Structure 1
């Protein structure tokens, strides 16, 4: 009924919380509390057999996975032992369930930098999921089993294994269908973040924070105010990821330039130039190194499934001449050889769709001497 109501009116029916509670109880075998129970919604059982009081929050991913989306307010003074976040896909089916203990919830709510979080108890989906343990994942969204023993497998091959699951690549890279929402980058960002969480040595993965906050530096010039897709923390170091995907019928992405990037390009003698989004990511990634010695690597993950006659990004990252031709800014054109040398490509074909997974670790040293990025 909620699905039908949204189709007819474009508005939610307002039962996401109730659906989340019912589905969490069904899938995790919880005992629901009575109506209007204060502070918690269900009783669960810990591995040692003791009971715990669970507060349940739900978020409907009606427009796909968006880490910055907010979840309902959590009162740290409520009488609960842990909070469950139930993520529901566009069809209001459970995509995944994540758990944070009471102490972790209080620590997250007290982290500085967000008035909504500190004063109103509201946090983003990404902030919750980054800290939480995943306790249930739908088989349709389940990642492949990649054990720590396989830690030597390159990330691009792990991403290719994820994409090789039935219907995943088709959803991510298939042609856009009429009246069907596009799941693309949010779905891929979530997969990359989860793969990195499983990697040995990674202590934390951040998906929704301004990079200045993540690195513990003041907000200043570009790119300190930007929000990268994924950041993996290893000890005192950090690897920053920008994640992109393209459909079989869409080869080059857009050339939409945000105001911070526009001001940066204009101030560096590139007024009027509008780089492809992939090129903008490359510019940001290279600039991240200048922010802090904590930045150990800056990496582009690009899934390219373009099947048209034009030159695709997968062809460009295999040939410096082609890449140089596609790039728009002179400073990036001079980096073409170094970028191609740093690129690694894996292929995947499933359900009639083929794609190339490109991982490019952007060089830390500027590739040009007379036109520095910063």
Structure 2
């Protein structure tokens, strides 16, 4: 069973059903039933035309459900009778599905879930496992999302920026359950890039690839965080880095800079350096200046303070940090790092301990606790 093929065909089949007159929610349910039937049937009897097979089965499921629903009898009058079997239409509505699933009326979590189901072809169980929530909870979330977009016109233009933010949320979720969400986000972003020529789509894809190239070195086998400066760069995936940079450069050359291109440029500079000492921090600061100009993001300003501390010294970094809201996530951890770089281990140890209490997850808390313990042990020695 070629699961990758099924996932790639899912949005195309869904788009065909919607164009034939099925409402989005009913069409999506029918496609999911067709996918389950494919998993059951194809290993023993693979079809000559997988897409046409899925369209035929999904359309039959939709008609069966429509005819059985007496409360919606009027809708049956609008439904075409079953088309004769044959090649599936060549029209690909995948791009419109991306826009629909990332509709502004949806919450980010609902948009992510609907995108993974309708465009990604994942089952509700797989999505629930990936997000560590009960399957019933995820089913309700997806149902609400489908109801929300039920009356949205399928051919209306969507916002690329919203789609990209949804895909980036998927990428950052990690690797829980039996679905690698980072890899899934890359696959979906590749699909979006094939559907639309947009420099920010290229920028996001490049950013994902370059970040993903460092995946194996970010933690030890027991889950301990490994900071960028301590990662084994010989284990970075050079092919992914080269692909990401190869995608980024033509996007930047179009002179339509966006936030994902700027982030990808920063990631590329880190990836280009053979060692931490060779990192071009001056240029990284310049890219953070562009990112701040584009987004005015407090997190971008926080990361810029770290880069300034590397480029111009820890005192300059602390001065940049002093201009930011101290309640920002990881502000205390950055302050601890810069104070340590400035030769003040006592203040740094105290701040590392404070940052550990504020850490958003166990791995980060343990890392910061170890940093505090390291400095305190050195002082007592």
Question: Could you say whether these structures have the same fold, taking a TM-score greater than 0.5 normalized by the shorter chain as the test?
Answer: no
Higher relative contact order structure (alpha carbons within 8 Å, sequence separation ≥ 6): 1
Larger radius of gyration: 2
Higher strand residue share: 1
If the length of structure 1 is used for normalisation, what is the TM-score? 0.30
What is the TM-score normalised by the length of structure 2?
0.30
